[in-house]
Amino acid sequence: MRGRVHQGLQLFIALAGTAILAGCEESGNTYVAPPPPSVRVAQPVQQPVTLYFELTGNTAPLNSVDIEARVQGYIQSIDYQDGMMVKKGTKLFGIERDTYQAQLDQAKASLASQQASQVGAKQEYDRQLNLMKQQVTTQTAVDSAKATLDEANAAILNAQANLELATINLGYTEVLAPFDGIVTDHLVDIGALVGISGPTKLASIVQTDPLYAYFNVSETQVLMIKQDLAKQGRTFRQTDLPNIPAELGLQTEEGYPHKGHLDYVSPQLDASTGTLQVRALFDNKDHAMLPGLFVRVRVPVGHNDKALLVRDDAIGTNQLGSYVLVLGKDDIIEQKQVKTGQREGPLRVIESGLDPADPVVIQGIQLAIPGSKVTPEKMEMNPAASAAGDAKATTTMQ
């Protein structure tokens, strides 16, 4: 009897254990779906935007010339420091003057001699005219006196020309700056003989204020500009260039802090490149820019009163181009291919492909998979507000 009870108790314990294990296994295998990922969305900003052509180019000096010795002689002085900023008319080099001063004195003496001869010839001619009136001389004598006077007059003109030439040559012994600019290092030393067989290069001078920026506009862009002007009933004229603003930025600068205006447009396209050369003029009073720098240039070409803008970091790229992720019906993520335009600070213009009412995913993009459901949180497209929201989300997750 006791054996049967013992066997029954063992069977009960076994059945109870099996039931408990089965219940545990059934409870442990139940799948609970995770909640949809959270993303932040914002509607595009709609505001007026000035449209620009954004181009690249290089700076160039307003003037740049070689300073040369135009007369022969020995260098007696170098009157500037290499790399110094000088004003127009500043003396840069001195060439020995003795020979040219002597030539000038000689020319002055020759002119004085010819002037004295002219006085004598004029007196003789007048005397012969009086005698002719008194009929005590011949016409031949009068003609001879007139010829002598004419020769004296011509000799004076020749002496005056020689005097001017001697004055010019003496002036060339002082080499002056032709305009305001920076002078390079000198290429000759004191005591060097220059101008032996022609002009000798002494240094160079570069004017960097104002400064040119050269850049090229494509054939398509040229046609777009002409079409836009035609819609306004206007035509392009060179005289309008000073009224067209241009902005410039260096590689180390944000945006386009330097302001200027267009100065020149080539009258024809370069057939080999399909581009049109354009030049703009910029103030450079602080000499922050140097000739030859690679620069970014933009020129206004139109205006959009209702441009759509989204954060630049919310735009992705694929094989088809640029795209944004938007919140669709039932909080399902959709991918829209868009055509992007210029950048406006942290925002970028969307030219086509996006509706003003589309909520764009601006945070949690890596969790927003097209076709998947998300939990959206609406925010403003304002970058500062978005950044504050990002920081708050990071604090919450921590």
Question: Residue by residue, what is the 3-state secondary structure of 166-227?
Answer: HHHHHHCCEEECCCCEEECCCCCCCCCEECCCCCEEEEEEEEEEEEEEEEEEEHHHHHHHHH
* 385: pLDDT strictly greater than 50: no
User: Which of 134, 132, 154, 159 shows the shortest CA–CA distance to 143?
Assistant: 132
Find the length of the chain.
Answer: 398
* Angle CA 165–171–177, to nearest 5: 135
Residue ranges of domains in the chain, CATH in brackets: 38-49+305-397 (2.40.420.20), 52-61+208-304 (2.40.30.170), 72-95+174-198 (2.40.50.100), 97-172 (1.10.287)
Single-letter amino acid code for the residue at 12: F
* 159: pLDDT strictly greater than 90: yes
Cα(193)–Cα(196) distance, rounded to whole angstroms? 7
| pTM (predicted TM-score) | 0.70
Average pLDDT along the chain: 86
* Longest CA span, the chain: 195
Does the N-terminal peptide bond of residue 376 adopt cis geometry, omega within 30 degrees of 0?
no
Q: Which H/E stretch holds residue 103?
A: helix 98-133
- Banded pLDDT at 11 (limits 50, 70, 90): very low
Q: Does residue 162 or residue 381 have the better pLDDT?
A: 162
pLDDT tens string 183-232: 999 999 999 999 988 889 999 999 999 999 999 999 888 887 777 777 77
pLDDT tens string 25-57: 454 567 777 888 999 999 999 999 988 888 999
What pLDDT is recorded for position 2?
A: 46
Sign of the torsion angle spanned by Cα atoms 348, 352, 357, 363: negative
- Of 17-26, 136-145, 227-236, 272-281, give the lowest mean pLDDT range: 17-26
* 396: pLDDT strictly greater than 50: no
Cα(398)–Cα(223) distance, rounded to whole angstroms? 55
Q: 284 and 208 in contact (C-beta within 8 Å)?
A: yes
Half-sphere exposure of 118 (CA within 13 A, CB side): 16
* 237: pLDDT strictly greater than 80: no
> Which two structure tokens, joined as six digits, stand for 119?
């006085």
Q: Could you give the percent of the chain with pLDDT greater than 90?
A: 61
* 389: pLDDT strictly greater than 60: no
Q: Could you give the percent of the chain with pLDDT greater than 70?
A: 88
> In whole angstroms, how far apart are CA 126 and each of 94, 112, 132, 138, 144?
50, 21, 10, 14, 12
* 387: pLDDT strictly greater than 80: no
* Angle CA 188–193–194, to nearest 5: 70
What pLDDT is recorded for position 225?
A: 79
* 332: pLDDT strictly greater than 70: yes
> Which residues, listed in sequence order, are joined to residue 194 by a DSSP beta bridge?
73
pLDDT tens string 353-366: 999 999 999 999 99
Sign of the torsion angle spanned by Cα atoms 135, 137, 138, 140: negative
- Banded pLDDT at 383 (limits 50, 70, 90): low
- Banded pLDDT at 395 (limits 50, 70, 90): very low
User: Which of 306, 314, 320, 329 shows the shortest CA–CA distance to 376?
Assistant: 329
Place of tokens 């002598």: 148
* 4: pLDDT strictly greater than 60: no
